[in-house]
Amino acid sequence: MNSLLASLRAALRPTDSGGASAMPPEPACAPVAGHADGPRRHSPSTVEELELELLLEATFQVYGYDYRGYQRDVVTRRVQAAMKQLSLPTISELQARVLHDPHAWNALLHELSVEQASMFDDASEVSLLRMSLGVCLHGAALPRVWLADCAGAQQAWTLAILLEQEQLGARTEIYATVSSDALLAEAQAASLPVARLGELQANYVRCGGVGKLLDYFEVSGDGLHAALLPQLRSRITWAQYNLVTDASFNEFQMISGRRALPDFGPALRQRVLRLFNDSLAQSGLLVLDRPLELDDPLAVHYKPVFPQQPWYKRVA
């Protein structure tokens, strides 16, 4: 087994311009995520880990989606879910399918994406949003909110309803970005079975909602499906956007990345935090998944909005 791993690692090492194959051991630290020409990020110790590295490299080279800087436990769990869905016993067999079968690639891409949210599924987040939306947005003439790597239509719909209740819906633009064209099409065409609105009503009440959630929806002619009211949907701009490689595209009064950030390894996380910093307006609100490290160079630009919560106001 050790000899097999050694030979596979040797085959993966790049050669210099003279064709020599002997290379010094690769560094353990990772380069900034998204730089395809940097040294390899991980040194596999098992065949399965090596298979995973090859899969991630292949999907980047063939499809342009870069998951190499993601947390390996997160990626492993999601790849295993794709293998189960496609009834494949090994990652190598998954790689072969992904490279030659668009259905398999879409299945893997969906598993690797941010877990989809349900409306009003986090009472703590909704409570903090109710307390902070007015404070951080009322001062802007045309406030903009960025849901980075949005967890599906229902996350954006929740925010749209909260903005409407704060009398901010008519002038606030929600930018909801997702990592793939498939997710973009899914979000833009989203609807709910009417039967689910009873379950979501319970979520809404637990989050302090008053009245009927149904009042914010229009029901299809057959009475089976519901979608957010057109006047609320019109305030949501959907776009495909890659947090790993794309640059800042606007200035925002609020940025939420709390659902995507837990997936990222340290180097990629820092890259994305710098991107958020480049995109957030003065006095804007930054919503993270965990507190900034005290020695983080970006920490001096922010102060906490709530005790024990990774919600920050930009102060510099």
**DSSP per position, 184-212:** HHHHHT--EEGGGHHHHHHHHHHTT--S-
Q: What is the pTM of this model?
A: 0.84
Q: Apex CA 302: angle with CA 299 and CA 306, to 5°? A: 115
Per-residue pLDDT of the chain (316 residues; tens, 9 = 90+): 444 344 434 433 444 434 333 333 333 333 333 444 444 456 677 999 999 999 999 999 999 999 999 999 999 999 999 999 999 999 999 999 999 999 999 999 999 999 999 999 999 999 999 999 998 998 899 999 999 999 999 999 999 999 999 999 999 999 999 999 999 999 999 999 999 998 999 999 999 999 999 999 999 999 999 999 999 999 999 999 999 999 999 999 999 999 999 999 999 999 999 999 999 999 999 999 999 998 999 999 999 999 999 999 999 9
Whose CA is closest to 140, among 300, 253, 278?
A: 253
Report which of 76, 147, 140 is spatially closest to residue 117, judged by C-alpha positions.
Answer: 147
pLDDT score, position 9:
44
List the CATH code of the domain at 123-314.
3.40.50.150
Confidence at residue 42, expressed as pLDDT on a 0 to 100 scale: 63
DSSP percent split of the chain into helix, strand, coil, nearest 5? 45, 15, 40
**Residue 50 one-letter amino acid:** L
Q: Are strands 173-178 and 144-147 parallel, antiparallel or unpaired?
A: parallel
How high is the pLDDT of residue 45? Answer: 76
Domain boundaries, the chain: 28-112, 123-314
User: How much is the pLDDT for 70?
Assistant: 96
Q: Could you give the C-alpha distances from 120 to 127, 175, 201, 283, in angstroms and in order?
A: 10, 19, 9, 26
Q: What is the CATH number of domain 28-112?
A: 1.10.155
Structure tokens given for 216: 């914010």
Residue 289, both tokens: 């998944």
